Structure 1
């Protein structure tokens, strides 16, 4: 690797590796859209998109794009055999009705107690966009967050308390960043480090994190 840590594709592959066979999984906007491209060969995972897709496949091959088949990130996607697309209200019924096993979401911030902030930073140049994040936070059985460990200027995104308005409180189960995989709730008032990316030391991780960390 040209730098310490995981690439975006590495992160997506790592998330996909943790999704159990037979799961119904919503894919949020941002980094999570990469995850359906890395389904392990021994598993069947049904990917859902809030704009009305069930059975979303990997990105299309060059020249095979269908401009009428897009995900919630407005990127062209494919359908697996048996997949379907439908009105977005039906997609939200699935989300709100508890039919989604896992939601993979992006985030601006996550607190050490699992609070999620992913809809606004308060920056007037970036209009807020709640989308379906609040519905997913309330309706999905498990919330996985996929995000960079720090902002572009190096500020930590894993914090003792979120400083941005919350999407939901105490909902995040696991966080995947370019530096580590961390669990919420396994230790009171701290994030438990389950895996550190290649080339990243404990000192690197502590320096890039404002939340309290526990290393088993």
Structure 2
């Protein structure tokens, strides 16, 4: 089945973060979104370890390893950027000062619940800052493969993993579709033109609703 790459999904998310928004990018896959900010658009990216207004990853060999995001990846600073204590950073999150949080997920339910952490006996079992982000940001965008490596749906009727937040996800951007979440559940907005609605529904673990036209999900080659 044809699907988007991680870079293409990140590009698609970047197009929907509005001009002037304050946005947090979660650890891992969501960090790629910073690379695809549309030209001429101002987005102030926040990292919970204490950075406001960071930019793209530096060129290889130009990294400053004293300047990293919450995922320990090197970043650059835009003119006017600020660095501050982690406690102040979480005051920004908990105070409702973020417009958007972009997070990865193991599962998203039809009512907007998100599960993006797991209990791992080989690692420290912790939800991290995501629990604050999903309730502090104005909107929560999830970025994910549409199915797991085993072919199981990530979009489900009810999450089976430990929850990070309840009823907080507003949009899901997957390798196959763009889906918004409303009171009635998953509402399909865009899908790859190469996949039929029925085939998309077959790999989605809850009903997909359609309101008006469903646009083709078109992205550049990246």
TM-score, normalization: structure 2? Answer: 0.90
Partner residue in 2 for 1:172: 169
Count of residues in Structure 1 that have an aligned counterpart in Structure 2 = 211
Partner residue in 1 for 2:27: 29
Query: Equivalent of 2:39, from 14, 38, 41?
Result: 41
Q: CA deviation at 1:86?
A: 1.8
Distance in 2 (alpha carbons) for counterparts of 1:49 and 1:195 = 29
Query: Equivalent of 1:207, from 189, 202, 205?
Result: 202
Partner residue in 2 for 1:115: 113
Distance in 2 (alpha carbons) for counterparts of 1:62 and 1:168 = 36
Query: Does the Cα contact within 8 Å between 1:180 and 1:193 map onto a contact in 2?
Result: yes
Q: CA deviation at 1:129?
A: 2.7
Aligned pair in 2 of structure 1 residues 37, 110: CA closer, same or farther (>3 Å)?
same
Report SS of the residue matched to 1:40. Answer: coil
Distance in 1 (alpha carbons) for counterparts of 2:178 and 2:125 = 27
Distance in 2 (alpha carbons) for counterparts of 1:198 and 1:9 = 19
Query: Equivalent of 2:17, from 5, 19, 23?
Result: 19
TM-score, normalization: structure 1? Answer: 0.93
Please, what is the CA RMSD of the aligned residues? 1.4
Distance in 2 (alpha carbons) for counterparts of 1:111 and 1:212 = 11
Distance in 1 (alpha carbons) for counterparts of 2:146 and 2:120 = 20
Q: CA deviation at 1:96?
A: 0.4
Q: CA deviation at 1:125?
A: 3.9
**Cα deviation per residue 1:120-172 (whole Å; 9 max; x = unaligned)?**
1x443454331111111111111111111111111111100001111111000
Report SS of the residue matched to 1:193. Answer: strand
Query: Does the Cα contact within 8 Å between 1:4 and 1:198 map onto a contact in 2?
Result: no
Query: Equivalent of 1:62, from 60, 69, 91?
Result: 60
- Structure 1 residue runs of 5 or longer lacking an equivalent are none
Partner residue in 1 for 2:78: 80
Partner residue in 2 for 1:103: 101
Distance in 2 (alpha carbons) for counterparts of 1:199 and 1:76 = 37
Distance in 1 (alpha carbons) for counterparts of 2:14 and 2:85 = 27
- Structure 2 residue runs of 5 or longer lacking an equivalent are 212-222
Question: Is 1:181 the equivalent of 2:168?
Answer: no
